[in-house]
Structure 1
Amino acid sequence: MATIRDVAKLAGVSVATVSRVLNQNGYVNEDTEKRVKKAIEQLNYKPNEVARTLFKKTSKTIGLIVPDISNPFFPELVRAVEDVMNIYDYTVILCNSDEKSEKEKQYIGILKQKYVDGIILTTNQLESDEVLELGVPVVVLDRPSMHSFPSVIADNYGGARLATRHLYDIGCRKIAHIQGPTHVVNAMERFRGYRDEMQELGLWNEQLIIQGNYQLKQAKEATLRALQEHKMDGIFAGNDAMAVGALKAVQQLGLRVPEDVAIIGYDGIPLTEMTTPELSTISQPIYEMGAIAARILVKKIEAKPLEQLHYVLPVKLVERQSTQRRGTR
């Protein structure tokens, strides 16, 4: 395998000159540059990327930190980021924080050591000053906790109101909400949308709030308890995983969906089409969110102007069997 010294010898120049050509750093006259490039081609020389990274303090690599890769929402988001970054020849380092601030900070330290060119955050464990200390462009995706950084989200508040109103429109009057983690911004926005819609409808009842923590199993167990303690005829789950848990709980108690309890989720992941009955959901443009965040990060890395700083993408109601229409009761 050819070395940088072999290139220098063949081109009749110093190793430092070859390094300047490779890194496009410093002046090299045109004839010399042509000789170096010809030698590189003849020897099929491949630069040591680790050494180049250390020298240039850049790596054509970005970090993507997600809170829970087992949640089916995030793989599609990751795919979009990776697809766009590959177009621009960037490699993506995926970090799964498990919703733990210590683990997230540990990953941040590792990414800094690797001289990543930018980071996409889909978590909200860090404070703004901690993110600023990173010294690289940052884009916040899905969980907009820091307004000084570019962000891409969907209309969580509006989508929650849409879901709640849909349950009302099909005849539900005792509508429960399975809430996500209280420290997660989008979970609280969905709760706010549900609460405001219920208050406007004159149906607000604090006892119909169920804690599901964005987890299928936890949502199932919490829904089982809630159904035994309170009467409800509709459930709006803050994400699709919790909606599946609610569906299992309702069926385990021998109740029918949607005849006894109608259920709607949030996200629009493929899993909702594979349940029996198929689950209605509020569909987010997941892939588009990831793609926009990736393009913003590339522009930030390349110091190009942004058309806008914050994106709030629309959501849509996908009505399936779990909320088939019925007469008002």
Structure 2
Amino acid sequence: MATIKDVAKHANVSVATVSRYLNKKGYLSKEAEQKVKEAIGALNYKPNSVARSLYHKTSKMLGLVIPDITNPFFPELARAVEDVALTYGYTVVICNTDEDIDKEKHYIEALKSKYVDGLIIATHELSEKDYLDLGIPLVMLDRTIGEAIPSVRSNNREGAKLGTKYLIEQGCQFIAHVRGPLTIKTAYDRYLGFKDVVDQHQTRHEIVESAFDIDESKQKILKILNEYPEIDGIFTSSDVMAVGALKATQSLGLHVPEDIQIIGFDGIPLGEMLIPSLTTISQSIYKMGTLACRLLIKQIEKKPLEELHFVLETELKIRETTRGE
């Protein structure tokens, strides 16, 4: 494999001249530029990306920090980020934290040490100050943490209102809400939207907390349905939780939607494949990812940001787990 010294020798110029050509810094005559260009082509020289990143303190790499790669919501986000990044010449490195603060710290420090150009954070175990102290471009995705860090998210509260209202319109009189972990603002906003509607309509309801996990959601729903067999509607904080709800109702011999109706939140492709297919509050997942990536690259390239925070609207997708289909 050719080295920078080989290029310099072939072009009959100094190593410093080749370095100026590669890094586009300093004066270089047209003659010297042409010699170096021809030598690189003749030797099929490939610059050492690690060395260049150390020199420039840049790597053309973006970090994407997500909480759970097994949740189908996040691979779809990641695909959108990657698609946009590649068009701008960036590579995306994905790190999965499992909502663990030590893992998140480890990955962020590792990414920063490799001179990653910016981070998209879809979890927030750290504080706003911790993120700002990193001193690199950041975007919060599907999360918000203060006004200083740009963000892209859905209108979670309004989306939850849509889903809860629809259950009531379809005749549900006792609704269970499976909310996400207390520490996650996304889950909290969906809980608030649910409460807005059931309180307004004075609808009987119960709330249980679960991780965004099929098995845990199933167990929590089994417990609440055994305690309150009269529950006739379930609104979950994610589609993954709704899969758990379906498994729970089926194991109890309940028919969906005749005996009990279910609405999820996210709009992941899996929901359409289920039998019965899942009624859900659909987010613009791909758009969220592309927006976040463009917002990050604008910061990296020091372009002005006309807007810091993007809130995308959600949509009710009516399928077979409710009676309106």
TM bucket (normalised to shorter chain) is over 0.9
- Whole-Å separation in 1 of the counterparts to 2:147 and 2:107: 22
The answer for the alignment partner of 1:251 in structure 2 is 250
The answer for the alignment partner of 1:193 in structure 2 is 193
- Whole-Å separation in 2 of the counterparts to 1:198 and 1:65: 35
In the TM superposition, residue 204 of structure 1 has moved relative to its aligned partner by 5.2
Q: Percent identity?
A: 53
- Whole-Å separation in 1 of the counterparts to 2:311 and 2:80: 17
2:318 and 2:324 in contact (8 A); partners too: no
Indicate which of 208, 211, 214 corresponds to 1:213.
211
Deviations 1:253-277 (A, max 9, x none): 1111111110000000111112221
Deviations 1:135-161 (A, max 9, x none): 210010001123211110011000000
- Whole-Å separation in 2 of the counterparts to 1:6 and 1:88: 31
- Whole-Å separation in 2 of the counterparts to 1:26 and 1:69: 45
The answer for the alignment partner of 1:143 in structure 2 is 143
Mapping of residues 275-286 of structure 1, within 5 Å: 275-286=274-285
Deviations 1:274-302 (A, max 9, x none): 22211100000101100110111111100
In the alignment, structure 1 residue 129 sits paired with structure 2 residue 129: yes
2:119 and 2:138 in contact (8 A); partners too: yes
- Whole-Å separation in 1 of the counterparts to 2:18 and 2:30: 13
The SS at the match of 1:322 is: coil
In the TM superposition, residue 90 of structure 1 has moved relative to its aligned partner by 0.5
In the alignment, structure 1 residue 241 sits paired with structure 2 residue 240: yes
In the TM superposition, residue 307 of structure 1 has moved relative to its aligned partner by 2.4
TM-score (norm 2): 0.97
- Whole-Å separation in 2 of the counterparts to 1:270 and 1:210: 25
Mapping of residues 70-89 of structure 1, within 5 Å: 70-89=70-89
- Whole-Å separation in 2 of the counterparts to 1:72 and 1:46: 37
TM-score (norm 1): 0.96
- Whole-Å separation in 1 of the counterparts to 2:145 and 2:183: 10
The SS at the match of 1:260 is: coil
Aligned partner letter, 1:40 = I
1:195 and 1:204 in contact (8 A); partners too: no
In the TM superposition, residue 40 of structure 1 has moved relative to its aligned partner by 1.3
In the alignment, structure 1 residue 67 sits paired with structure 2 residue 67: yes
Aligned partner letter, 1:121 = I
1:140 and 1:146 in contact (8 A); partners too: no
2:11 and 2:36 in contact (8 A); partners too: yes
Superposition CA RMSD, Å: 1.2
2:143 and 2:186 in contact (8 A); partners too: yes
| Runs of 4+ in structure 1 over 3 Å off | none
In the TM superposition, residue 322 of structure 1 has moved relative to its aligned partner by 0.6
The SS at the match of 2:199 is: helix
Runs (5+) with no aligned partner, structure 1? none
